[in-house]
Amino acid sequence: MILTKENRNTIQRKLIWEALKRLNHPTADDVYLAVRENYPNISRGTVYRNLNQIAEKGELQKIPIPSGPDIYDVTLRPHYHIKCRRCKKIYDVEMEDLPDISRYITDKHGFVIENHEIVFQGLCPKCNKNGGYNNE
Amino acid sequence: MILTKENRNTIQRKLIWEALKRLNHPTADDVYLAVRENYPNISRGTVYRNLNQIAEKGELQKIPIPSGPDIYDVTLRPHYHIKCRRCKKIYDVEMEDLPDISRYITDKHGFVIENHEIVFQGLCPKCNKNGGYNNE
DNA sequence: ATACATGCAAACACTTTGCAGCACA
DNA sequence: TGTGCTGCAAAGTGTTTGCATGTAT
């Protein structure tokens, strides 16, 4: 018999959740630093454990970022990101909703698809301007 | 004055490139292990440096995988992946080409978009079968 | 009461980097 | 000949985990 694990409402979890709501799309470390302002003894381990737990329940999106720490987002609507190949910075991307992108998958091996993330890559205006010199 | 750096054809680079061509979509460590069979003294550092260099030139795709090592692909056509939320395994996804997906971006901040990666997430058939017990 | 969470620190996984010597062009 | 590359090892970055203790239910 498999039981759902109970989830306790600790102070730490509440503070983490509050930080999540007011931060933009923070990394685990951003959350850690934010919570620590009001609760200096919190540990990174606790932050990571809670973020994973909340994301596991589906109340939080954990978004992996190429060559960088995962970011978290409380808005469950998918939104996308773009990363500059040169300077490695991440930016948000505004995008009309694709008409059910998972429809395009021809073979999904029986997966139940829940969400997706798109990471675009290219050159940001600044890096593009500073010469395309090592582009090819 | 900015100069393009010379690229030397070392034995190591040739072996790395050959390994890339015959492996599926290997991680850096897969490449390292493969090359090491014929050239035992190669070091991980060299493999990483070369993979980055080749990818930087645009001859290789470096594909970041959520919660796992980057994978590399010599076919530059984008292809997508799906990851099981429960068991964390990665699978390839066959997908018809989306009609120029970057067209859907309404605000790209002046980026020059070169490519993109989509990572779907969901439940694989096996994990879905073993009960949806901790789904919500 | 007890199952679950915490803080701490160590371990882990992946990748980059400094350096002295080597080798391709 | 000289710049670029190599092997090695150490360090860097991001995340997980073991353990003894604390706490929400």
What is the domain partition of chain B in residue ranges?
A: 1-76, 77-136
- Name the residues contacting strand C (CB < 7 Å): A 3, 5-8, 10, 12-13, 39, 41-46, 49-50, 53, 67; B 6, 8-11, 27-29, 44-45, 48-49, 52, 68-70
Q: How many CA atoms lie within 13 A of A46 on its CB side?
A: 17
For residue B75, pLDDT beyond 70: yes
In this structure, what token pair is assigned to residue A11?
């102070």
- In percent, how much of chain B has pLDDT > 90? 35
Specify the higher pLDDT residue, A89 or A41: A41
The DSSP result for A9-76, as a single string, is --HHHHHHHHHHHHSSS-BHHHHHHHHHHH-TT--HHHHHHHHHHHHHTTSSEEEEETTEEEEEES--
| Cβ pair A58, A51 in contact under 8 A | no
Q: Give the pLDDT score at A29.
A: 96
Give the residue whose CA sits closest to D23 at C1': A10
In B, which residues are within 8 Å of A95 by CB distance? 104-106
Specify the higher pLDDT residue, A25 or A97: A25
Burial of A119 (0-12, 13-18, 19+ CB in 10 A): buried
Mean pLDDT of A3-24: 90
B67 touches strand D (CB under 7 A): yes
Q: Give the pLDDT score at A58.
A: 87
In B, which residues are within 8 Å of A85 by CB distance? 114
CA/C1' separation A123–C5 (Å): 44
Q: Give the pLDDT score at B61.
A: 86
Q: Give the pLDDT score at B84.
A: 74
Measure the CA–CA gap between A87 and A89, rounded to whole angstroms.
6
The helix/strand/coil state of B48 is helix
In this complex, the residue of B5, B120, B136 whose CB is nearest that of residue A102 is B120
Q: What is the CATH number of domain B77-136?
A: 3.30.1490.190
Specify the higher pLDDT residue, A102 or B42: B42
Mean pLDDT of B19-31: 92
CATH value of A1-76 in 3.30.750.200, 3.10.20.90, 1.10.287.1080, 1.10.10.10? 1.10.10.10
Residue B92 C-alpha, separation from nearest chain A C-alpha, in angstroms: 8
* A 16-35: CB within 7 Å of strand D: 27-29
Q: Give the pLDDT score at B91.
A: 75
Tens of pLDDT, residue by residue over A58-117, are 899 888 776 788 989 887 666 788 877 766 666 778 777 666 777 777 666 788 888 787
